[in-house]
């Protein structure tokens, strides 16, 4: 009945994914390639989780 009031977990994950990519880009621009790699890896694993949730 009140399903429109519930937050969408996929939307939250998409926002987090975008923030990780933004942080990774900033790390790459500042020359911190190690941090860029770590953030990109986290973003990729989060993207896989998002894709899995969308297909379910």
Question: Tokens representing 31?
Answer: 């020359």
The pLDDT of 2-19, averaged and rounded, is 87
Residues for the chain: how many in total?
56
SS (H, E, C) the chain: CCHHHCCCHHHHHHHHHHHHHHHHHHHHHHCCHHHHHHHHHHHHHHHHHHHHHHHC
Cβ-based neighbours of 43, under 8 Å, separated by 6 or more: 17, 20, 21, 24
pTM attached to this predicted model: 0.83
Place of tokens 């996929």: 10
pLDDT digit string, tens, across residues 14-40? 999 999 999 999 999 999 999 999 999
């Amino acid at each position: 009945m009140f399903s429109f009031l519930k937050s969408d977990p996929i939307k939250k994950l998409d926002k987090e994914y975008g923030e990780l990519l933004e942080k990774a880009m900033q790390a790459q621009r500042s020359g911190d390639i190690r941090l860029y790699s770590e953030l990109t890896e986290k973003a990729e694993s989060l993207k896989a989780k998002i894709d899995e949730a969308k297909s379910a």
